[in-house]
């Protein structure tokens, strides 16, 4: 079994090569054994709409049952419904089969055991169980259960829409297409669905709302329909992208400014967590609201653990994962985050552009990607940590290397899901931004002169 599929946030690989029936059965056996060791008698299993997901689900479920752990299959649903079910049904453990925003030939597993999302060491420990044969045996039961109605009802009872908004929902042919349009209609919105037919080939665009090219059809539809808002979800629904009525893409860190203002207004002193890729403006804004800003590592599993550790009421990543603990359960849910955004707009001003104009805006880049070898990318970051020369910058090595200067900052980190280095920059003006980019390019080239930069 390839060690490379056991990653920092989840298990992920090319479905027909690395997530074979044999591998998935063994992984199921390991997950079931770990769950039993933590006093869990059953595991929830759910899957996204990828073509390989039913096969993987069946092999995984048989492995879980072979450990003596019961399986509760909640069907083809978005990841947030699996997380929701761990809070509502009789077990706090589950496995979501999803390739998230990876290409169609990929798939993966997100694992929750006893209320904790496995990351890094926890995921590596599953492989070690398999290698060392530390596996239970037994005959677990299998049953199916539906969670969709309970999920929709919970949100309808929690979120109050003061005036109906007209919204376009782009599911990107991912699994949210089965549930998101109905959820927002029942909340009282006028919904125009776009690419809401579940199709594992993703024929219209890739289901990754962080890439501007994937939002162009949504922007066009919002303008054509005169909608108040456009919402895009990733393949498994734990991330969102937002487009304003004017067709402007709202970066998740700017969205977090508005959400933090709302949450902290009711909860003075609340912790708000954001990842290393987010704007530095969040620090001062959250403090000014009366909250406590906390910067943390990128990655849904790391963020959820930090939410649990700190008791934070809100968290957000630049990639579009938003975590609400206030009135919710602390997991990342693109649909619930969209509902909370619409609640704010419906009770204040539906013009999101106008609302965001009150917040500071610096010159910034999207995520910039530089190809690197799967193993080499980590050693590059390690060398940069030790050898990098960043003048008078303040260096943070929480996750990669982030350097804050007086008038801007830069970040480079190794992606935990693909063979790339991820960079992001922000500054007071374009010239300063380019200066910071040049510093990073020079320092990285000093370590590996084969790196190719397209910025």
**For 20-46, how does the pLDDT look when each residue is reduced to its tens digit (9 = 90+)?**
999 999 999 999 999 999 999 999 999
Looking at the predicted structure, is the pLDDT value of residue 115 above 90? yes
Cβ(5)–Cβ(42) below 8 Å:
no
pLDDT at 391: 87
- Over residues 426-430, the mean pLDDT reads 98
Lowest-confidence segment of 9-13, 259-263, 382-386 by average pLDDT: 9-13
| Known catalytic residue at 206 | no
Span 129-165, pLDDT tens digits: 999 999 999 999 999 999 999 999 999 999 999 999 9
Span 272-292, pLDDT tens digits: 999 999 999 999 999 999 999
Fold category of 3-147 in CATH:
Alpha-D-Glucose-1,6-Bisphosphate; Chain A, domain 3 (3.40.120)
H runs (alpha helix) in 290-406: 300-310, 334-347, 352-356, 376-387
Please give the backbone phi and psi of residue 218, each rounded to the nearest 5 degrees, phi first.
-65, -45
Question: What tokens appear for 298 in the block?
Answer: 């990128």
State the catalytic residue, choosing from 101, 254, 300, 321.
321
State the catalytic residue, choosing from 33, 52, 100, 301.
100
442 burial via Cβ count (<10 Å: 0-12, 13-18, 19+): exposed
Identical fold between 3-147 and 157-244: yes
Whole-number Cα distances in Å, 247 to 235, 293, 323: 22, 30, 25
Residue spans of the domains in the chain: they are 3-147, 157-244, 252-356, 363-447
pLDDT at 102: 87
Q: What DSSP character marks residue 393?
A: P
State the catalytic residue, choosing from 12, 136, 300, 340.
12
| Known catalytic residue at 57 | no
pLDDT at 197: 99
252-356 in CATH: which number? 3.40.120.10
Span 320-349, pLDDT tens digits: 999 999 999 999 999 999 999 999 999 999
- Describe the crossing of helices 148-158 and 334-347 by its angle, rounded to 10 degrees: 30
Say how many C-beta atoms besides its own lie within 10 A of residue 137's C-beta. Answer: 10
Question: What tokens appear for 81 in the block?
Answer: 């419904």
pLDDT at 395: 97
pLDDT at 204: 98
CATH architecture of 363-447: 2-Layer Sandwich (3.30)
Fold category of 157-244 in CATH:
Alpha-D-Glucose-1,6-Bisphosphate; Chain A, domain 3 (3.40.120)
The neighbouring-strand residues paired with 47 are 76, 97
pLDDT at 8: 87
| Known catalytic residue at 205 | no
């Amino acid at each position: 079994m390839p060690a490379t599929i056991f990653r920092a946030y989840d298990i992920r690989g090319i479905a027909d090569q690395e997530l074979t029936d044999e591998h998935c059965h063994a992984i199921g056996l390991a997950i079931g054994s770990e769950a039993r060791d933590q006093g869990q008698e059953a595991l929830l299993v759910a899957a996204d709409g990828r073509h390989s997901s039913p096969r993987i689900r069946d092999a995984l479920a048989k492995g879980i049952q072979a450990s003596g752990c019961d399986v509760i299959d909640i069907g083809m649903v978005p990841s947030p419904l699996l997380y929701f079910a761990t809070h509502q049904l009789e077990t706090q453990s589950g496995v979501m089969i999803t390739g998230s925003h990876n290409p169609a030939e990929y798939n993966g597993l997100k694992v929750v055991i006893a209320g904790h999302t496995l990351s890094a060491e926890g995921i590596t420990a599953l492989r070690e169980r398999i290698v060392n044969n530390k596996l239970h045996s037994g005959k677990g039961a299998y049953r199916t259960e539906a969670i969709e109605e309970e999920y929709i009802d919970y949100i309808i009872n929690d979120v109050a829409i003061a005036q109906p908004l007209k919204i376009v929902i782009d599911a990107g042919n991912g699994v949210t297409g089965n549930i998101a349009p109905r959820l927002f209609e029942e909340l009282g919105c006028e919904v125009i669905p776009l690419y809401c037919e579940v199709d594992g080939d993703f024929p219209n665009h890739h289901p990754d709302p962080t890439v501007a090219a994937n939002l162009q059809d949504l922007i066009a539809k919002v303008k054509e329909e005169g909608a108040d808002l456009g919402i895009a979800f990733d393949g498994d629904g734990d991330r969102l992208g937002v487009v304003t009525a004017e067709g402007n893409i709202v970066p998740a860190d700017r969205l977090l400014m508005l959400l933090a203002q709302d949450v902290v207004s009711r909860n003075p002193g609340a912790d708000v967590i954001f990842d290393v890729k987010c704007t530095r403006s969040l620090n001062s804004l959250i403090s000014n609201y009366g909250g406590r800003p906390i910067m943390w590592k990128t990655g849904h599993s790391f963020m959820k653990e930090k939410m649990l550790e700190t008791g934070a009421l809100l968290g957000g990543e630049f990639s579009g994962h938003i975590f609400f603990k206030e009135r919710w359960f602390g997991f990342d849910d693109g649909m619930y985050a969209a509902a909370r955004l619409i609640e704010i707009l419906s009770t204040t001003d539906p013009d999101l552009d106008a609302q965001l104009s009150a917040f500071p805006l610096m010159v910034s880049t999207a995520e910039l990607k530089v190809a690197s070898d799967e193993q080499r990318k980590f050693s590059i970051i390690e060398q940069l940590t030790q050898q990098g020369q960043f003048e008078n910058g303040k260096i943070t090595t929480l996750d990669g290397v982030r350097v804050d200067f007086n008038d801007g900052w830069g970040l480079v980190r190794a992606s935990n899901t693909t063979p790339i280095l991820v960079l992001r920059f922000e500054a007071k003006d374009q010239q300063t931004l380019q200066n910071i980019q040049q510093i990073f390019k020079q320092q990285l080239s000093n370590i590996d002169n084969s790196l190719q930069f397209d910025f």
